[in-house]
Structure 1
Amino acid sequence: MRQPGPSELERVRSLAATATPTTAALADDPTAHFSVRGAVDHVGRAVLLLQADSPLHSALRTARHGRPDLMVGIGLSALRHVGRTPTVRARLWCEGRVSAVPTGERREAALAVWERVPDEELLAAVDHHPTTVEGDAPLLARVEPATVLYETYDSAGVIDGTDFRDTTPDPLTSAAERIIGHVNDRHRDDLTAVLREIPAAPVGSAWLWELDRHGLTLWVAPYDQDRPVLVRLPWSGPARSTCELERALHELLTHRAPHC
Structure 2
Amino acid sequence: MQCRVGHVICSSCHHKLRKKDNCHVCAITGGYNRCIAFDHILESTKVSCSNSIYGCTVKTHYYHQEEHKKSCPHAPCFCPEPGCGFAGSTTQLQRHLTADHMLPATAFAYGYSFTLHMQEGMRVLHRKEEGGPLFLAKFTLVPPFGNAVSILCIDPHAVTENHRFECDVDFYSRTMGWHQHSNFQIISTNLSNGFPGEEASYTFVVPDISSDPHTTTTRLLIRPPKISCP
Q: For this structure pair, what is the TM-score category when the shorter chain's length is used for normalisation? A: under 0.3
Which structure shows the higher helix fraction? 1
Higher Rg of the two aligned structures: 2
TM-score by length of 1: 0.23
TM-score by length of 2: 0.25
